[in-house]
Amino acid sequence: MAMVYHHIMHLSSTSRLLLQDRYLLDGESPKELWSRVAGAVDGTKAKDFIYLMENLLFLPNSPTLMNAGTPLGQLSACFVLPVEDSLERIFQTLTHMALTHKSGGGTGFSFSRIRPRGDVVERTSGIASGPLSFIRVFDAATAAVKQGGKRRGANMGVLASSHPDIMEFIRAKTGGGLTNFNLSVGYDAHYFQCLSTRTPYPLINPRDGEIWAEIDPQEIWRACAEAAWACGDPGVLFLDEINRKNTVPGCGVIEATNPCGEQPLFPYESCNLGSINLSACVKHNDIDCDLLTYVIRTAVDFLDAVIDVNRFPVAEIAEQTRATRKIGLGVMGFAEMLILLGIPYASKEAIAIAGEVMGHVHREARARSAELGEWRGSFPAIDRSIFSGPMRNATVTTIAPTGSLHIIADTSSGIEPLFTLAYHRTIAHRTVNSVNRLLTELAETRADGSAILEEVRKAGSIQHLPLDEHIRELFRTADEISPEHHVRMQAAFQQYTDNAVSKTVNIPESVTVEDVESIFSRARTLGCKGITVYRENSKSEQVIHRGCDVCAVE
């Protein structure tokens, strides 16, 4: 597709600081970074790839920016590794985890196959210590390994709702600890049958398949909500929904996701992600559909090419990844796109726009993958998939949280609403004061703009200010939006996403455990693949705080 090239976007001072701290090689400029990455991925398409990144229209996941064109050469962010009920296999996986973290990847695990605490160990006549003991070992090992020397690794630990140790797992983080793990309960279809019929739910010993005990399913649901209310963990994974939408069912059952929950994967499978900056696709108060289409199709080319040049940390990962060739194209800047369009995030119109935009992304990404499949060959496992025609990639879309990428692009993260309008962020031991750029632009047009910005710096919000109601609606922050709307927004994006959606339901400190239960139930009803809640101040360390009077570490 021909493209008219526009002027290059300028990086903000915060973006430059972050790039210097984490992404640029010694003596490298941002322009040289884009050229290094584009050339390493596919030199024949370098001009288009550079254009996307230089204009902050699309950015690949952090390992690609950090490692492309370097001796390390590991470009994927998301991995799932198997955990079998064998001491030898467990510690083999621990080694693979360390190698993956060292290369820049994050890892997910299902610990559901490990026999429960108190079960017998026949060869030694001993007593099993259970999955939590091994999760703690993995957590400690993670603390000792930095990702490519840049940052500490991250993990997701999943335990099946039917595991005998499920209650211990649910409460594992309420007293602190496991700082390098997110946790999620993996619910199966039988659990929800028992919950709806109010019948006992069997807990199954994975060693022999025998019923270990029976439990009121509501007790598990309540405990999960209580723990999430207290500390944000565990999240919820609807494994039956994940596998119902599995595009390669012949390859097995999916039991775990990457650390942020948006990428369900088979054991030893990886996926490279990238995100389109939707706010950069708004021209003259409307979405530039031609530009967006060009970005989608070029981004698919980019992410597919990454698979071929990637240097995987473990041979088994290379084999499984190349069999399915999964990619995960997502979006960021959705909240700022809505502001530029004059549409409040907390509106029915915003839900409709979410479906329209992500539907377009998914259709164009699938169409481009089909073209690549016809020209270059379909992914090798296509005979075990749902596809009847050529397809290069088993999945094409994922909604990632874009934790660092949105800072580089100077836009809102993922599909989240604005978390706050003003905050402190510490990067490379330097504190950066930030006020939302769109609000700053608005203030510059008003006589009372300085007073507005001063108040925002104190509170991180404008809802208490005597401003036009439409402006206040446009700049609502995450905890000023109802939990119901948060979930509906996630569901709108999930409808057009092959993999899953990273979305946090930010809730005020005052909400109840019953409110958290309702959020979980609503996510289930609306077809989400999982859900995570975060109650304000429920963690001792919080990445971002509202207002500029508090310092937070990014």
Active site residues: 258, 260, 262
SS3 276: strand
Strand partners, 53: none
Q: Which of 160, 155, 164 is nearest to 257 (CA)?
A: 155
SS3 80: strand
Tokens of 274: 């990238």
Q: Which residue has the tokens 């060292």?
A: 102
Omega of the bond prior to 234 within 30 degrees of 0, cis?
yes
Instruction: List Cα–Cα distances, 249 to 107, 161, 265, 436, 494, in angstroms.
Output: 22, 22, 12, 44, 19
- What gap in Å lies between CA 418 and CA 334, rounded to an integer? 10
211-215 vs 201-204, strand pairing mode: antiparallel
Report whether 367 contacts 329 (CB < 8 A): no
**Residues with Cβ within 8 Å of residue 494, at least 6 apart in sequence:** 399, 500, 501, 527, 528, 529
Report whether 408 contacts 343 (CB < 8 A): no
CA 447 to mean position of chain CA atoms: 40
Give the DSSP H or E segment for 274.
Answer: strand 270-277
- What gap in Å lies between CA 93 and CA 141, rounded to an integer? 12
- What gap in Å lies between CA 191 and CA 535, rounded to an integer? 26
Backbone angles phi, psi at 126, to 5 degrees: -95, -175
CB atoms within 10 A of CB 188: 16
Q: Which of 314, 399, 413, 299 is nearest to 107 (CA)?
A: 314
**Residues with Cβ within 8 Å of residue 290, at least 6 apart in sequence:** none
Backbone angles phi, psi at 404, to 5 degrees: -95, -30
Report whether 379 contacts 393 (CB < 8 A): yes
Report whether 549 contacts 431 (CB < 8 A): no
Q: Which of 34, 54, 56, 19 is nearest to 437 (CA)?
A: 56
**Residues with Cβ within 8 Å of residue 510, at least 6 apart in sequence:** none
Specify burial of residue 371 (Cβ count, 10 A radius: 0-12, 13-18, 19+).
middle
- What gap in Å lies between CA 64 and CA 40, rounded to an integer? 10
Tokens of 154: 């991250």
SS3 531: strand
